[in-house]
Structure 1
């Protein structure tokens, strides 16, 4: 979408500066409605290609590099990629303009004039600018979280809002013992692998990472999205399944296989932007404290996942899981008791 919007901006600027007619001696293709339509189509799919390369290849390849080096390496790669795109799409655009074959001598001759003209430099500047904007967006989105960045741009939480949300507090088991065994540096590497392994499951269940707190992650869902098909509960078992697939990798790389436990609850929170030197979107409300208390009971009940009855009664899917009522618990710091259920996935 960034590439598409930027292309429209540049096309408008070119139209305002030069009109619809191209200059034959400069190799510029006339800016006709057909060319605009072709350009829109081409740039959209180029942007899609860049996105696919980013998500499935380059982001993982350069994951260990700093933000600055990552952006530079990706920019060099994409800059070379842009040259390939020009060599493919210019002849195609020429064919759209003239109706001739993309390999027609007239089109190739015009292309050769374009490559030595100032318009080629202008085109590369445009592509480079689109690259920088999209790469910076991707980098900032990775740091803040995609939905958080979008909410900042739209100003959704510029003023505090009340909303219903579901929360999952997921915590590593025996983290202190593991940290002592591995040491600080190796434990930090373990955390990176730990959070990376659960990422696909969170995305698959439409969850949003609210916070990473040491070895604990807080995942959140808008109420409707989380309850639909019981995605919020399925998220835990998606994560569990992905960890089982990586068990040998964890043992080989770190000598341990980290387990985890989680608590879930739903309720009303107030959401808004806070901070002076650093602005963040935060949730406040009793639901977060209650969820943390529920999660703290996992060891006591030897459970992997505990949820509140408030959440249980709202779920859409009861057949996929096994629920065990544990009764009403008096949670630390709360006057009212909370009914809790253990959740297991049938083998």
Structure 2
């Protein structure tokens, strides 16, 4: 609940800032273009300045920002899994249209009182009013821009799309990352029992609960490969408050909490295993069609091999000594040494530890 509120207030802040800027920009454009339009004044007021008009842009931006944040949060949090995209867009469109009618009518009344401009506000004024539909179109365009920014942040991580635009990853860059390979246990057996279609729905449901906690622990999802997901952290974010450890056990807890749902729908409760490792990797853009960021380096292969060792040791979470020494485990967790392991394709052994939750 605490994290959900934090997410909402962050969205609320960004939404208010975005829409205030958007509508202030719109008001300025309308203000400096007013001489080319037929504007009826109730009382001629030559001293009305742009700053006075901007007050209405801020009011409208504040109102739209609050409502927009509430609607987007509620739909994302509670209805995205229940309704398909078409219904979501339909319901959102109806809500926003009704709100625009209400908010612009209110702004018209305020404008008449404070800047003495006669705006149409009679019942049904919006149906034939060109300005209303211009504002509606402007709202749709700005909404698409805001949604695009949110989607790119979700897909690539915060700030990554900006770095791609300025060409930061056009040349390979070396960075230090924590990686987690997380994979479904007994995937072959489950796939054979469920069949391809139902198994795909099963994986979709499993990763839904993973997606709900990724931002909570400052992780980024690099990619999905079948029934496996690859997560990454910037080193400081992964180490902070043991985010890279807490994420796995939080995910495990959520799956168990929804065990009745999985049992009823699929007849099986999902369990996942994971490997954790850290080190320097190369990030670069690849491809011209469907361009994306690619991670290269030995750390990726090593992390994958660590995750594969979970079956041999019958453990759910394994971690390399290299990463463990940088983590300050709390009393909630304990590490169990498993000895040195010569991973497939390696010439040097690697010390592995199992992580257990004590409370």
Partner residue in 2 for 1:218 = 230
Query: Could you tell me how far apart the structure 2 residues matched to 1:124 and 1:299 are?
Result: 57
State the 1:56 CA deviation.
Answer: 2.5
Correspondence for 2:218 among 200, 206, 209: 206
Partner residue in 1 for 2:331 = 319
Instruction: Decide whether the 8 Å contact of 1:157 with 1:273 is kept in 2.
Output: yes
Partner residue in 2 for 1:111 = 121
Distance 1:73 1:154, change over 3 A: farther
Deviations 1:125-175 (A, max 9, x none): 222322333345455655666655454345442332111000000000111
Distance 1:233 1:89, change over 3 A: farther
Query: Could you tell me how far apart the structure 1 residues matched to 2:114 and 2:168 are?
Result: 43
Partner residue in 1 for 2:71 = 53
> Secondary structure of the residue that 1:289 maps to in structure 2?
helix
Partner residue in 1 for 2:99 = 81
Q: Output aligned runs, 1:1-347, within 5 Å.
A: 1=14, 2-18=18-34, 23-24=39-40, 32-57=50-75, 61-63=79-81, 71=89, 74-92=92-110, 97=115, 111-112=121-122, 115=126, 117-138=129-150, 148-347=160-359
Query: Could you tell me how far apart the structure 2 residues matched to 1:158 and 1:66 are?
Result: 37
More divergent stretch after superposition (209-218 vs 152-161): 152-161
Query: Could you tell me how far apart the structure 2 residues matched to 1:308 and 1:96 are?
Result: 67
Distance 1:301 1:162, change over 3 A: same
Query: Could you tell me how far apart the structure 2 residues matched to 1:143 and 1:63 are?
Result: 18
Unaligned runs of 5+ in 2: 1-13
Query: Could you tell me how far apart the structure 2 residues matched to 1:316 and 1:45 are?
Result: 45
Deviations 1:306-344 (A, max 9, x none): 011111111144333111111221111111211111001
Instruction: Decide whether the 8 Å contact of 1:71 with 1:136 is kept in 2.
Output: no
Query: Could you tell me how far apart the structure 1 residues matched to 2:215 and 2:112 are?
Result: 42
Instruction: Decide whether the 8 Å contact of 2:28 with 2:50 is kept in 1.
Output: no
Distance 1:255 1:89, change over 3 A: farther
CA RMSD of aligned residues (A): 3.3
Query: Could you tell me how far apart the structure 1 residues matched to 2:331 and 2:114 are?
Result: 56
Query: Could you tell me how far apart the structure 2 residues matched to 1:97 and 1:316 are?
Result: 62
Instruction: Decide whether the 8 Å contact of 2:75 with 2:88 is kept in 1.
Output: no
Deviations 1:10-65 (A, max 9, x none): 2332233227x9933599x9664144144225414523432332233257535577
Distance 1:96 1:336, change over 3 A: farther
More divergent stretch after superposition (261-270 vs 9-18): 9-18
State the 1:288 CA deviation.
Answer: 0.5
Distance 1:252 1:295, change over 3 A: same
Instruction: Decide whether the 8 Å contact of 2:108 with 2:120 is kept in 1.
Output: no
> Secondary structure of the residue that 2:33 maps to in structure 1?
helix
Query: Could you tell me how far apart the structure 2 residues matched to 1:139 and 1:60 are?
Result: 18
Question: What's the TM-score, normalizing by structure 2?
Answer: 0.82
Partner residue in 2 for 1:101 = none
More divergent stretch after superposition (211-220 vs 199-208): 199-208
Query: Could you tell me how far apart the structure 1 residues matched to 2:151 and 2:282 are?
Result: 28
Query: Could you tell me how far apart the structure 1 residues matched to 2:20 and 2:194 are?
Result: 47
Count of residues in correspondence between the two structures: 338
Unaligned runs of 5+ in 1: 99-105
Query: Could you tell me how far apart the structure 2 residues matched to 1:317 and 1:93 are?
Result: 60
